[in-house]
Structure 1
Amino acid sequence: MADIPVHDGGSKADEVEGAEITETKDVLRGRKPSAGKLRRVDSLQMEAGNVSSIRAHGVQAAGWAATLHLAFQSIGVVYGDIGTSPLYVYSSTFTKGIKEKDDILGVLSLILYTLFLSPLVKYCFIVLWANDHGNGGTFALYSLISRYAKVNLIPNQQAEDAMLSNYKLDTPSSQMKRAQWIKGKLENSQTAKLVLFLVTILGVSMVMGDGILTPCISVLSAVSGIKEKATSLSEGTIAIISIVILIMIFSVQRFGTDKVGYTFAPIILLWFSFIAGIGMYNLYAHGAGVLRAFNPKYMVDYFKRNGKEGWLSLGGVVLCITGTEAMFADLGHFNIRAIQLSFSTILLPSVSLSYMGQAAYLTKFPGEVSDAFYKSIPGPLFWPQFVVAVAAAIIASQAMISGAFQILSQSQALGCFPRVKVVHTSAKYEGQVYIPEINMVMMLACILVTGSFRTTTNIGNAYGITVVSTEFITTSMVTLIMLIIWKTSIWKIALFYAVYATLELSYLSAVLSKFVEGGFLPVLFAFVLMIIMSIWHYVHVKRYKYELANKVSSSYIRDLALKPDLTRPPGIGLLYSELVEGVPPIFAHFVETIPSVHSVLVFVSVKHLPVSAVEARERFLFRQVEPRDHRMFRCVVRYGYTDTVEEPERFESLLIEQLQDFIHQEFFFLDSQQARPSGNRVGAEETSTQQQNPRLSSGSIQPVDNVDSADSSARSTTVGRIQGVEEEKQFIEKQKEKGVVYLLGETEVVAANDSSVVKRVIVNHVYSFMRKNFRQGQQILSIPRRRLLKVGMTYEI
């Protein structure tokens, strides 16, 4: 039995006003019962079909006023990191000083063309279009691929999920053999699924490393400028000042960044105005001859002159694109046109002028490369620029820390990270979250890195690895999207991958050469995070498969009434399980341990789909557990990876309201099935033709074309149906008033007796340690302790 409840905003206050058939419309939320037009699907009987495609949020057309408004806001959210790169790029590139003045032109040429090829061409005009309903980032790419190819490691796909408004997709056509072939290889290869998952969490781990290193290098490079006026300060003192600022940044994270776009945009815009103006001043004061760097010949000559040293210097050049991934990751708050506009008209000209201005200054004063940014500032503007630089560094740090929280929140939602407390700090910006435990860990890591490395050069060696690794992963995943979703010309795909893979692997080889000089740090961060995420997800999948293999049989449910000691206390019981199909094994353990079942029992499964958001009216999916007089139901509660789980009171209210709506629709469905000839019964075979309209596939009751011609007998039958429905709904309401109890299985997972030593260590010790030291299920779901009942059970996997 399966149904998709469609809730159109009706309330429990809807009543039957009389016996006339036309007066049933209020109860039916504007729909009249028609046995001939009821349509249902059941995920146990059929696969998900095609549904029509709609334009995603990220590509929706917007008026110029709205686009300009979003573009302004994006300046404060997206560009803090890449916008502060001029603070340290030249010092990180020329670590051993400038040997020849033409090297300045070669490095400037590398910087300008890297900015042009990577953030402008690749991200603004290609990657941004690979969004998941307007959301970007590594998990967005993974979720997009997961909807077109069944690559999820957890077997919980349901046909009904594809009917959600935000799940829209077009499957590859039968003519596109290449796309179908690649899709088939992905779906049939467990190795390919595992590799894709590992690549995804590697990208996530690298972004997390970025969230630690960005505050360190941004704040340290900004504060280092004070040496120009206070020459007596040592590196240790500057590091201590930076650490104090970092502690302040992490201390205020709990307040959130609700007005981040409005508050930070003017400061970052002022920063861009400063660096652009000072850049133009330096071009005027020291000569505009550096503009010759637009000729790529200077790049070639630079490598010819410097050989291996020139190749190694790429590790500093690549820092000019730090924070590029933020343009994609933060797309969900804006739109594509806004990002394209703000980058091409504000950021790119500003930072380019800053790099050109510093290059012009260095042609006259090559010995001052270690402090080129602050040395090139005209005297009267030093202190205003210093204050704005520190403010911009703080903003860049804030944005990356918030982005790291968002990524971990998505990881947890998809079962890839241990349970932690996620606080949603903004009702307006859905991605603004705060994770107390992670905030503390990141702060300690930043203090350790800043105190140990002390200079931007050493931190830059580590920073480059996170930047290039993340970009290469994005390139690879977008290439896969081009193959199986966009179905782009193979020559365009080959050109895209050849250009950007070559560019990014060249940069990666350069930064990896500095592994022992600090480059090991992000690798260490990523390794630790990947181990944690891999182990947690591995056991998560094994637990799900155990429940799937040990579901409670239908005969056990039928025989419950025969148990002499079983009681049915009043109230509604919500039994939580990750299983989305069938009755979980923990239920039988509950009955054997506590021989009672509430008058109404709902098996609740919280499921996170590979979509950014699920509309509230489509969140609950109900089924009746037979026999019907037991009043047991299965309920899958579906969330996207950016959705917020409701507070208990709100959740209960929504669930019970949707349950009543389901009972209403289910009553008429059963009645209509009994009234129809068996040869004309609607089954799963018919539903596949109805999926172009989710309303036709969701169990909603469709209008009758000529209801006014119904005879008096039909009217009487309809009134009887309505009365039966209302009695059942009133029973549910009364049980709600008597109390809602949460039933939670406290499952302990252990390795089976015949498991290998490695598996025993992973499951029995590492996973057990993480589970005990992170938050428990009731804390994540915000279940009230006074209404919680837990029963322990052991799963052998």
Structure 2
Amino acid sequence: MSDATEKTGHHPKLSTTTLVIAALGVVFGDIGTSPIYTLKECFSPHSPHHVLPTHDNLLGVISLVLWALIVLVCIKYLVFVLRADNKGEGGVLSLMALASHGMDEVLKRRAVIVLLGLFGAALLFGDGIITPAISVLSAVEGLKDGGLLGSAPTDAGAAALWDEKMELLIMGITMVILIALFAVQFLGTAKMGRFFGPITGLWFVSLAALGVSHLISGPEILAAFNPLHGWHFLTTGGHKSFVILGSVFLAVTGGEALYADMGHFGAGPIRRAWFSLVLPALALNYLGQGALLMKNPEAAHSPFFQMAPHWATLPMVLLATAATVIASQALITGTYSLTLSAVQLGYLPRLSIRHTSEHARGQIYIPLVNWLLMLACLALVLAFRNSTNLAAAYGVAVTMTMLITTVLFYFAARHLWKWPLLKTVALCFIFGVIEIAFLSANLVKFFDGGWFPLVVGVLIFTLMTTWATGRRLVRASMEKSALSQETLCESLKRRPPVMVPGTAIFMSSTSGRTPIALLHSLKHYRAIHERVIFMTLITEDEPWVTPGRRVQVEALSDGFWRVTGRYGFMQKPDVPRLLRQCANHGLEVEAEKATFFLGREIIVPSHKPGMARWREHLFAFASKLAQQPATYFQIPVGRVIELGQQVEI
């Protein structure tokens, strides 16, 4: 990150048009590719939960799709949730920090908010695995659905063999595309956005053009804008009409990405892109598919690709594939941001995190997360084989995350913004009822694959809570034998040790406490450097801390200093830069000439009360995966001495 960016803490000066185009390439890919499979899952005879494409059913389902987009995306996210701007950053963890702000005195309520936020974040990891798999798979299936791979033989046995070969071919192409996508992530979000933005713009223009071409011959589908058609479909269609909500919800998956990626582009460009291009294109395409099905119900097996004239089928498949790759990018980017927040807030081990832009904040790449996501996506393609099977796994995690966002938004609106109770309850009740209805319908698909993202979410939630609890137990164990820094200074005045030339910097996780590394050093060497700095780095419950608040310097005694560095949960600590800032406070230190002492805890599971034994072993394993502190804090190579200590928890 450049010094200019560090000073401002905001986006570099880019034009709104540039940000809108870049946002198209990152934020809207997921929701923008939903037309490929949403109505297919609602009406295709191959879908386990479908309805017949009759006149009334078409008006009802498309009305539900349009109003889901209007209420959940336009009103909830674009109008209200994007106001929950945590110093420019969005996402469920940022909203969790806002919702719990100022609630330390209500510890139980704050704990519930934190747990909800963590579970919502964990569910988004599950969503991040499914989105690339279903998006790319559904686009590549256009080769078969559009007739580009030929027709199945008339003989039943030969047709089954042909279907099997086509499925394997489509799976193979999908896996190659996914491997290529994850392999280029190191280039960074900014470069990906600039490259993908114009392609996504062309995609939305194509969606609109296809929709208009069919609307001209079937304008009666425009009646779907009347919400009464959706209500009539739900209230008269029985159980099947309710279950179809699980497929209708596919139209709004990706809505959470609009909020999660707010920090990359800002709320203004995201709103402009949505209302000027994305929403009109989506609405026109869904209406166009409805008009096509009214005239030709046999196209229900793949209404999206059946919209294109034969000559345009291959270009549309290629464009759809490119668009679904971009859809995957939206979730991959969001997953990186989510991981960085969780690491900085102390809910995941320190991972190798690379900043991919010198000018734009939040542009990061996390290798371990990238490759784990890729392996999980490939495993999903192999396990579920086609987009219809994957659609059964899609939706449960997203609806839960949306519902959690509504709950957290309620607390933020009430306790942070002081909204009136009636206004807050009324608004969140409307969103909550709709999301509970969608969640209930999606839970019907639980045993068909809906269990997968929930299992992923529970596993990651368990890891995050275990890591946070384990770190708290380690700190408590070490503080029992720790002295205050003031007490140490007084003790050394009375009985001075041997003085060694130079500066020693002791990293301490708790401000005011003497690091164990220093006590071990005194015990073994019976000497101390002529200048000692106790350094503590604190992560605040906000995404960005300005340079003016970054560093606090205190002189404790002759030769002893205390330095406290403050960072937001979207900022990566940089110790050399922090030391340079100390010069403004009367403490001049050259990181390249100082010696850094780091304590390294070796976790030993025990029968002590605190955590279950299996969680202690999980915590010990996660500790081994954590990046070396010297690397994470960007301490100069060759200037570090690590002192290990076994810690029982």
2:252 to 313, 321, 324: 321
For residue 177 of structure 2, what is the aligned residue in structure 1? 245
1:298 to 225, 229, 239: 229
CA distance in 2, matches of 1:751, 1:244: 43
Q: Is the 8 A contact 1:571 1:738 kept in 2?
A: no
Identify which of structures 1 and 2 has the higher relative contact order when contacts are C-alpha pairs closer than 8 Å and 6+ apart.
1
> Is 1:78 the equivalent of 2:9?
no
Stretch of structure 1 that moved more, 312-321 or 769-778 = 769-778
Offset from partner CA, 1:637-675 (integer Å, 9 cap, x none): 1111222333xxxx33641x4434323xxxxxxxxxxxx
By how many angstroms is 1:146 displaced? 4.0
1:641 to 569, 572, 586: 569
For residue 61 of structure 2, what is the aligned residue in structure 1? 107
For residue 127 of structure 2, what is the aligned residue in structure 1? 210
Q: Is the 8 A contact 1:98 1:366 kept in 2?
A: no
The code of the aligned residue for 1:783 comes to: I
Offset from partner CA, 1:697-742 (integer Å, 9 cap, x none): xxxxxxxxxxxxxxxxxxxxxxxxxxxxxxxx6xx56xx4992111
CA distance in 2, matches of 1:737, 1:139: 33
Q: Is the 8 A contact 2:250 2:395 kept in 1?
A: yes
For residue 177 of structure 1, what is the aligned residue in structure 2? none
The normalised TM-score by structure 2 is 0.91
CA distance in 1, matches of 2:491, 2:523: 13
CA distance in 1, matches of 2:183, 2:215: 41
For residue 394 of structure 1, what is the aligned residue in structure 2? 325
CA distance in 1, matches of 2:357, 2:241: 46
For residue 75 of structure 2, what is the aligned residue in structure 1? 121
The code of the aligned residue for 1:407 comes to: L
By how many angstroms is 1:441 displaced? 1.0
By how many angstroms is 1:209 displaced? 1.3
The code of the aligned residue for 1:643 comes to: Q
Q: Is the 8 A contact 2:208 2:284 kept in 1?
A: yes
2:272 to 333, 338, 341: 341
CA distance in 2, matches of 1:340, 1:653: 36
RMSD, aligned α-carbons: 2.5
> Is 1:747 the equivalent of 2:601?
yes
Question: Alignment partner of 1:234: what SS?
Answer: helix
State the number of aligned residues.
Answer: 623
For residue 41 of structure 2, what is the aligned residue in structure 1? 92
The code of the aligned residue for 1:450 comes to: V
CA distance in 2, matches of 1:576, 1:391: 47
Question: Alignment partner of 1:794: what SS?
Answer: strand
For residue 205 of structure 2, what is the aligned residue in structure 1? 273
Q: Is the 8 A contact 1:57 1:133 kept in 2?
A: no
Q: Is the 8 A contact 1:276 1:351 kept in 2?
A: yes
How high is the sequence identity, in percent, across the aligned residues?
A: 32
1:762 to 612, 615, 619: 615
CA distance in 2, matches of 1:481, 1:464: 25
1:607-618 map, 5 Å: 607-618=538-549
By how many angstroms is 1:407 displaced? 0.7
CA distance in 1, matches of 2:293, 2:607: 69
The code of the aligned residue for 1:464 comes to: G
By how many angstroms is 1:635 displaced? 1.1
CA distance in 1, matches of 2:25, 2:629: 36
CA distance in 2, matches of 1:204, 1:300: 32
Q: Is the 8 A contact 1:547 1:579 kept in 2?
A: no
CA distance in 1, matches of 2:76, 2:249: 15
Offset from partner CA, 1:566-616 (integer Å, 9 cap, x none): 322222111112112332344323311232222211111121111221223
2:634 to 765, 769, 782: 782
Larger radius of gyration: 1
For residue 193 of structure 1, what is the aligned residue in structure 2? 110
Q: Is the 8 A contact 2:508 2:534 kept in 1?
A: yes
Q: Is the 8 A contact 2:489 2:560 kept in 1?
A: no
1:489 to 385, 409, 420: 420
For residue 585 of structure 2, what is the aligned residue in structure 1? 662
Question: Alignment partner of 2:645: what SS?
Answer: strand
The code of the aligned residue for 2:593 comes to: G
The code of the aligned residue for 2:237 comes to: N
- Which structure 1 segments of 5+ residues have no match? 1-7, 10-55, 151-186, 664-728
Question: Alignment partner of 1:497: what SS?
Answer: helix
By how many angstroms is 1:93 displaced? 2.1
Change (3 A) 1:144 1:548: farther
Offset from partner CA, 1:116-139 (integer Å, 9 cap, x none): 101001111111111111211111
2:432 to 501, 510, 521: 501
1:652 to 560, 566, 576: 576
For residue 159 of structure 2, what is the aligned residue in structure 1? none
Q: Is the 8 A contact 2:544 2:571 kept in 1?
A: yes
By how many angstroms is 1:385 displaced? 1.5
CA distance in 2, matches of 1:357, 1:738: 65
2:312 to 381, 384, 387: 381
CA distance in 2, matches of 1:333, 1:452: 34
Q: Is the 8 A contact 1:744 1:788 kept in 2?
A: yes
The code of the aligned residue for 2:38 comes to: V
Offset from partner CA, 1:386-439 (integer Å, 9 cap, x none): 221111111111221121011101100111001211111122332221111111
CA distance in 2, matches of 1:389, 1:580: 54
The code of the aligned residue for 2:331 comes to: M
Question: Alignment partner of 1:624: what SS?
Answer: strand
Q: Is the 8 A contact 1:134 1:331 kept in 2?
A: yes
For residue 170 of structure 1, what is the aligned residue in structure 2? none
CA distance in 2, matches of 1:295, 1:633: 69
Q: Is the 8 A contact 2:103 2:110 kept in 1?
A: no
The normalised TM-score by structure 1 is 0.75
Q: Is the 8 A contact 1:610 1:641 kept in 2?
A: yes
By how many angstroms is 1:314 displaced? 0.8
By how many angstroms is 1:760 displaced? 3.6
Question: Alignment partner of 2:612: what SS?
Answer: helix
Question: Alignment partner of 1:598: what SS?
Answer: strand
